[in-house]
Amino acid sequence: MVADQLVMLAQALAREIETLKAELTSDQINPIDFNEGIDFYDEIARYEIELIRSALNQCDGNQTRAAKLLHLKSTTLNAKMKHYGLHPIRSIMFQRQKATQAK
């Protein structure tokens, strides 16, 4: 059971690395201009959304498994999804579309 979770986490991290590599080579990356400042909380929200989408994608939309993967309670994951307006099916489809476009 623990080994399965470690494998799932390793696979999710590997995918995240590939996604980050693709984003870094993409012309859509906007470098952070610290002269103008950034909104710390917007950046944290963006990162949380990406983590949640990645976990849901890894778990085929199963929120309970995604919560375990993220080491969150299911209720916490559900609250964050509601807060950000995320729906498992939309998140999975968005992630798959993004991956397809990257190829």
Burial of 49 (0-12, 13-18, 19+ CB in 10 A): middle
How is residue 90 written in tokens? 């939309």
pLDDT of residue 26: 53
In the prediction, which pLDDT does 27 show?
A: 47
Q: The pTM is what?
A: 0.55
* Rounded mean pLDDT for each run of 10 residues along the chain, 103 residues in total: 78 74 57 78 91 90 93 95 80 55 61
CA angle 16, 66, 102 (to 5 degrees): 30
Distance CA 34, CA 31 (A): 9
